[in-house]
């Protein structure tokens, strides 16, 4: 029997399962001493983070296994990727790559010149992952309330004229 994987936009009904997925995926960062919102957010915060953006979920055989939130920024134009989470037991099989490819296609459809994201400077494994996906560090930032500095990372896209 073949596994069935689909990607769709999350709905309000997904919030309980989405919160559990994000908490589980970010637990290792909490264990590193990093106070990522995703590690401890409740359903109200999960719902709030979905507002004004597109939250994608990957569903494998009926279970939510990965997510990413896409938010269009106007100045400068970019598609900002937030709250990437992959179920810990399913890391390494390409789910993050699938969501990144989806985001890149979405940015191209919107004629946005780049993707952007941020991650803790101390989360070297994530910096390495995003670098492998074509992102480069462009700046450092200290977000309010966070106990770590973050890198802002950017991936430029080649857009074709229609």
Range of the domain at 21: 5-156
CATH at residue 31: 3.40.630.30
Residue 117 placed within a domain? yes
Per-residue pLDDT at 161: 61
Q: What is the pTM of this model?
A: 0.91
Residue 101 placed within a domain? yes
Q: How far is CA 34 from CA 11, 41, 70, 118, 123, in A?
A: 28, 14, 23, 14, 9
Q: Could you give the strand order of the β-sheet that contains 54-60, starting from the edge strand earlier in sequence?
A: 5-9, 54-60, 63-74, 77-86, 114-120, 150-156, 136-141
Residue 91 placed within a domain? yes
Residue 134 placed within a domain? yes
Number of domains in the chain: 1
Per-residue pLDDT at 3: 77
User: What angle, 0 to 180 degrees and rounded to 10, lies between the N-to-C axes of helices 15-31 and 43-50?
Assistant: 100
Work out the number of other CB atoms within 10 angstroms of the CB of residue 44.
Answer: 10
Per-residue pLDDT at 159: 72
Residue 53 placed within a domain? yes
List, in sequence order, every beta strand (DSSP E) within 3-62: 5-9, 54-60
Q: Token match 């946005």: residue?
A: 112
Would you give per-residue pLDDT tens digits along the chain (162 residues)? 677 999 999 999 999 999 999 999 999 999 999 999 999 999 999 999 999 899 999 999 999 999 999 999 998 899 999 999 999 999 999 999 999 999 999 999 999 999 999 999 999 999 999 999 999 999 999 999 999 999 999 999 987 665
Residue 35 placed within a domain? yes
Per-residue pLDDT at 1: 66
Answer for the pair 68, 99: CB distance below 8 angstroms, yes or no.
yes
Residue 162 placed within a domain? no
């Amino acid at each position: 029997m073949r596994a069935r994987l689909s990607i769709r936009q999350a709905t309000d009904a997904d919030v309980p399962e989405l919160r559990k997925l994000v908490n589980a995926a970010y637990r290792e960062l909490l264990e590193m001493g990093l106070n990522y919102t995703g590690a401890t957010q409740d359903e109200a915060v999960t719902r709030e983070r979905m507002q004004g953006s597109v939250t994608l979920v990957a569903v494998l055989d009926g279970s939510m296994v990965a997510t990413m939130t896409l938010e269009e920024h106007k100045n400068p134009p970019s598609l900002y990727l937030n709250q990437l989470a992959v179920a810990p037991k399913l890391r390494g099989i390409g789910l993050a790559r699938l969501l990144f490819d989806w985001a890149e296609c979405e940015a191209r459809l919107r004629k946005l010149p780049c993707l952007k994201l941020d991650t803790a400077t101390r989360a070297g494994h994530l910096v390495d992952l995003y670098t492998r996906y074509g992102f480069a560090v462009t700046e450092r930032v200290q977000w309010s309330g966070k106990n770590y500095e973050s890198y802002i990372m950017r991936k430029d896209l080649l857009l074709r004229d229609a």
